[in-house]
Amino acid sequence: MEISKFETPDADAYPRGETEPVPPRPEVRCAVRFPLNLPVVLSAGQGEVIAKTRNVSASGVLFELQEPLPDRHPIRFSMRMPRAVLGTPHDVLVHCIGRVVRCTISQTQYLAAATIDEYQFAEQ
């Protein structure tokens, strides 16, 4: 039985409640990630959370932290980006606003992936 991508298969297409196998989706990157370990303090609601970046891109950051953050939680943080990475004469302080998209636990710490929805370069 051939099914076009616009049709829904009938109940006979996959017997015993089986479904069509779903192939894994490839991860899509919008921006290059830089492996940077930078100390940051996240303002998350009423409190602050000490963290370290694991990698940074123009659209997001992966943080290492000691406590979990809930998904979709808004955060604010600042990073001092190294001049060598940016190709500038001085390090640049960047203020960011974003939100947590996922938080998982590794062996010893939590890993929180967050978007960068807005950013502003601080005057140096």
Domain that holds residue 60: 30-121
Predicted structure pTM score: 0.72
Report if residue 19 sits inside a domain: no
DSSP assignment of 59-113 equals: SEEEEEESS---TT-EEEEEEEE-HHHHTSSS-EEEEEEEEEEEEEE-SSSEEEE
pLDDT at 5 (0 to 100): 43
pLDDT at 14 (0 to 100): 47
Local mean pLDDT, 10-residue blocks, the chain (124 residues): 45 52 55 89 89 94 95 94 89 95 94 96 77
Residue 40 DSSP symbol: E
Tally of structural domains, the chain: 1
pLDDT at 38 (0 to 100): 95
pLDDT at 34 (0 to 100): 86
Report if residue 1 sits inside a domain: no
Domain of 93, CATH number, reads: 2.40.10.220
pLDDT at 2 (0 to 100): 47
Report if residue 7 sits inside a domain: no
